[in-house]
């Protein structure tokens, strides 16, 4: 009589294991997609910072001096430390990016 109970328990064990594997796989895929999305956003900000550097060089060619982060801070209303953190990649902020884009006439 005990053999059917053991088979049934083993069957439940496999069902639970398969369910756990499916759940773990789902969590893994979700985390992977989240990481890829974060990487994509990071790349977009890096490209935007490159556009800011281009705008700084263009400003230097037309005005004879380089546009500094302090100048950008004054134009945007953000603090110098916020602009420097954004430019260093330490503080990705959509609001700062939008204000810089407006101040330097850069398309987002």
Question: What tens digit of pLDDT does each residue of 54-84 get?
Answer: 999 999 999 999 899 999 999 999 999 999 9
pTM: 0.69
Structure tokens, 70 = 């302090």
Q: What number is the average pLDDT over the span 8-30?
A: 65
Asked if pLDDT for residue 11 goes beyond 70, the answer is no
Residue 41 is predicted with a pLDDT of 84
Structure tokens, 105 = 């006439």
* Whether the Cβ atoms of residue 103 and residue 75 lie closer than 8 Å to each other: yes
Helix-helix angle 2-63:80-88, to 10 degrees: 120
What is the CB neighbour count within 10 angstroms for residue 68?
Answer: 13
């Amino acid at each position: 009589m005990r053999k059917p109970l053991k088979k049934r328990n083993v069957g439940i064990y496999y069902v639970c294991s398969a369910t756990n594997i499916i759940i773990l796989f789902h969590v893994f895929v979700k985390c992977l997609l989240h990481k890829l999305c974060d990487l994509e956003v990071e790349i977009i900000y890096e490209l935007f910072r490159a556009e800011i550097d281009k705008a700084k060089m263009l400003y230097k060619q037309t005005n004879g001096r380089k546009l500094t982060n302090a100048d950008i801070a004054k134009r945007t209303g953000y603090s110098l430390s916020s602009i420097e953190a954004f430019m260093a990649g330490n503080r990705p902020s959509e609001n700062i990016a939008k204000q810089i884009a407006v101040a330097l006439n850069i398309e987002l």
